[in-house]
């Protein structure tokens, strides 16, 4: 037995969406640390490029791609970029997502445009990503891994009605892809984070800048979790590394809450 362990993702070709910030950036960095070659995809190319710079500075291999995951052509091009650059696709982490446009908005406050954007990015992005990853996995053979970012908001009624419904849809698509993909060696799982005050998500939802990641917001979020700590992007990245690695070879169709016990109550 060797004491040194092999990197969990040695030589794998991976795509992370929403890789310019938060969970996506933390996961892209951890995937690279574990030996993966990473396509960092984001609607904001500048942010994806910044993540690539951080990975390269740490000695890893990565490339940036601009992609709006709600657009099928962008998703097709993103997967082609991974195949062109790294020869194949082993892992797709469908992580990009957007919050309720005005945090705290009630169902009746959502406009038709809010609805279309939430469904288009949060559910459409995972539909297009999963569809084209499965096509690529079947074409190249040897299976493949899909990981989706859902939310505790898809498990309990928290975090916004339409937003939560899109995340419930993500969870259900995850299970369905897992069952359809199993005969082909394709695994599909999801993580379900609880509130993460330190990413850019809450600001994207309209939380005032002085409240984002403030001590008060962090404490409020932490207090709502049985373990008493706010969830971080790094917490999610650790769960992601495990689920996309061969260490989880016999795990498919599960939604793993990363929530400090929030939904266990």
Ligand X SMILES: NC(=O)c1ccc[n+]([C@@H]2O[C@H](COP(=O)([O-])OP(=O)(O)OC[C@H]3O[C@@H](n4cnc5c(N)ncnc54)[C@H](O)[C@@H]3O)[C@@H](O)[C@H]2O)c1
- Dihedral angle of Cα 120, 125, 130, 135, to the nearest 10 degrees: 90
- Binding site residues, ligand X, CB under 6 A: 17-18, 20-24, 42-44, 47, 67-70, 95-98, 121, 149, 151, 193, 195-196, 199-201, 204, 233
Which residue among 93, 127, 137, 163 is the active-site one? 163
Using the minimum distance from each CB to ligand X, give the nearer residue, 60 or 192.
Answer: 192
Using the minimum distance from each CB to ligand X, give the nearer residue, 120 or 144.
Answer: 120
Helix (H) or strand (E) holding 141: none
Shortest Å distance, C-beta 149 to ligand X? 4
Shortest Å distance, C-beta 250 to ligand X? 26
Shortest Å distance, C-beta 72 to ligand X? 12
How many CA atoms are closer than 13 Å to the CA of 75, on its beta-carbon side?
Answer: 25
CA 168-171-177 angle, 5° bins? 140
Q: Rounded distance, CA 105 to CA 115, Å?
A: 12
Alpha-carbon distances, residue 82 vs 65, 131, 216 (angstroms): 9, 15, 41
Region of 232 (left: φ > 0; alpha: ψ -120 to 50; beta: rest) is beta
Listed in sequence order, the residues at least 6 apart from 148 whose beta carbon sits closer than 8 Å to its beta carbon are 93, 94, 95, 126, 130, 170, 173, 174, 188, 189, 190, 191
Shortest Å distance, C-beta 177 to ligand X? 17
Check if 262 is active-site: no
Using the minimum distance from each CB to ligand X, give the nearer residue, 187 or 225.
Answer: 225
Using the minimum distance from each CB to ligand X, give the nearer residue, 186 or 196.
Answer: 196
Q: Which residues are catalytic?
A: 163
């Amino acid at each position: 037995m060797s004491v040194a362990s092999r990197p969990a993702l040695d030589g794998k070709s991976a795509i992370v969406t929403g890789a310019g910030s938060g969970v996506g950036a933390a996961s892209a960095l951890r995937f690279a640390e574990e030996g993966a070659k990473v396509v960092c995809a984001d609607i904001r190319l500048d942010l994806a490029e910044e993540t690539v710079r951080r990975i390269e500075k740490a000695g890893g291999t990565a490339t940036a791609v601009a992609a709006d995951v709600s657009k099928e052509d962008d998703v097709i091009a993103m997967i082609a970029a991974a195949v062109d650059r790294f020869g194949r696709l082993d892992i797709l982490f469908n992580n990009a997502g957007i919050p309720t446009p005005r945090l705290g908005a009630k169902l009746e406050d959502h406009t038709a445009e809010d609805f279309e954007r939430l469904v288009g990015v949060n559910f459409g992005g995972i539909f297009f990503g999963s569809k084209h990853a499965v096509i690529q996995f079947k074409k190249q053979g040897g299976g493949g891994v899909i990981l989706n970012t859902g939310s505790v908001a898809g498990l309990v009624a928290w975090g916004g009605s339409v937003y939560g419904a899109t995340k419930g849809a993500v969870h259900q698509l995850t299970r369905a892809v897992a069952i359809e993909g199993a005969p082909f060696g394709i695994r599909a799982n999801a993580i379900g984070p609880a509130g993460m005050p330190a990413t850019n998500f809450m600001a994207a939802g309209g939380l005032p800048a002085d409240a984002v990641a403030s001590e008060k917001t962090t404490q409020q979020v932490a207090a709502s979790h049985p373990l008493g700590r706010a969830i971080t992007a790094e917490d999610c990245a650790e769960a992601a590394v495990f689920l996309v690695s061969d260490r989880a070879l016999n795990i498919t169709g599960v939604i793993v809450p990363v929530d400090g016990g929030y939904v266990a109550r």
